């Protein structure tokens, strides 16, 4: 029998990671797995932030360059990069990030709202978590993908 810790509705669990100079987090409930970098096959006419696709246990998984999607420039992936496999709008998507940092349990009350007039990359942020080390931008995963076929690959 597995005993899981009791998590209150007042708390939220996040997977934290870095992309470029930005510290980010996503809701752990959307994360299916974290894996090392695997070279992706490019897709013709794909947006710049779609790095390509990989074969994940027989399924085609689109890889989004999160830094590129957030307007911070495309990454040149190395063995040190990671792919966060997440479920976004019922689709599996790989998020290319520089490094995964930690799993955090935070009080929902500590999360500050994103600026209401946010445009550009800030539009992908659903909230900010202040800490001694700076701000952690909580990414709104639903805003990362469009309904266009290339995003579904």
pLDDT tens digit string along 10-59?
899 999 999 988 999 999 999 999 999 999 999 999 888 899 999 999 99
Provide CB contacts within 8 A for 49, sequence distance 6+: 64, 65, 66, 68, 69, 74
pTM: 0.84
Q: Which CATH number fits domain 11-143: 1.10.760.10, 1.10.1610.10, 2.40.50.180, 2.60.15.10?
A: 2.40.50.180
Q: Which of 152, 89, 124 is nearest to 19 (CA)?
A: 124
How far does the chain reach from its first CA to its final CA, in angstroms? 39
Domain boundaries, the chain: 11-143
Q: What angle do CA 50, 117, 119 make, to 5 degrees?
A: 20
Q: Which of 7, 111, 17, 96 is nearest to 50 (CA)?
A: 96
Under DSSP, is residue 38 helix (H, G, I), strand (E, B) or coil?
Answer: coil
The tens digit of pLDDT for each residue in 100-145 reads: 999 999 999 999 988 776 555 567 899 999 988 789 999 999 988 8
In whole angstroms, what is the distance from residue 49 CA to residue 71 CA?
Answer: 9
């Amino acid at each position: 029998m597995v005993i899981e810790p009791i998590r209150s509705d007042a708390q939220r669990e996040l997977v934290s990671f870095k992309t470029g100079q930005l510290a980010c987090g996503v809701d752990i409930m959307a994360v299916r797995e974290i894996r090392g970098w695997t070279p992706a096959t490019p897709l013709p006419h794909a947006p710049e932030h779609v790095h390509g696709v990989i074969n994940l246990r027989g399924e085609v998984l689109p890889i989004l360059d999160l830094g590129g999607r957030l307007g911070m420039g495309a990454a040149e992936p190395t063995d040190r990069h990671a792919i966060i496999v997440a479920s976004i709008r019922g689709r599996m998507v790989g998020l290319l990030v520089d490094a995964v940092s930690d799993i955090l349990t935070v009080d929902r009350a500590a999360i500050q709202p994103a600026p209401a007039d946010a445009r550009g990359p800030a539009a992908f942020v659903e909230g900010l978590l202040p800490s001694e080390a700076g701000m952690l931008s909580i990414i709104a995963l639903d805003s990362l993908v469009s309904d266009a076929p290339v995003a579904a690959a």
